Amino acid sequence: MELVLASHNKGKLVEIRELVEGYDLDISSAADYDLSEPEETETTFEGNARIKAHYCAKQTGKLSISDDSGLEIAALDGAPGVYTADWAETENGRDFYMAMEKTRVALIGKTAPFLANFTSVLCLAWPDGRDMVFRGEVHGHLEFPPRGKMGFGYDPVFVPEGYTNTFAELPAEVKNKISHRARAFEALLAAKPFE
């Protein structure tokens, strides 16, 4: 079965392929179909995940999956949240090192530890308009300066609960067992939508 990821993010594509390994799924992406990215106009992860998955399913005529995810920082009242990627936007694309520095500056004067959580909401959408939505979270704290070369996004500053390494320092096989996306996928696979 072909499953189209409603994203152009290569890091997400790699991670999702690893998470569904063992299932008879051929994972392609919106980039493979030369699809543009729809405007994310909702204020929740669930709303934006639905926009992306339904757009991709309608355009390709295939079962599609989207992930809307972000970093929520307690000391910043949950920011950046659904605007996580926006904090990294530049004229030349996304720069997450700039975004991590922006985050560090925003936390000046706040008291550590800087509690935070990553949230992932997956939406599985069919071309006929049906969908299923699944949420996963991982809690931890932020540490600066960034450490590690693995992962993507804000991974170099996020330390999950029970660990001393950042997501970017953890091997993929460890991160893929405890991440927000892994937890959302556990919920999705428990619903057995591919059987």
The residues annotated as belonging to the active site are 68
- Yes or no: say if 94 and 34 are a contact pair by the CB < 8 Å rule: no
Helices (H), the chain: 10-19, 45-60, 96-106, 172-178, 180-190
- Yes or no: say if 96 and 122 are a contact pair by the CB < 8 Å rule: no
CA 17-69-132 angle, to 5 degrees, is: 70
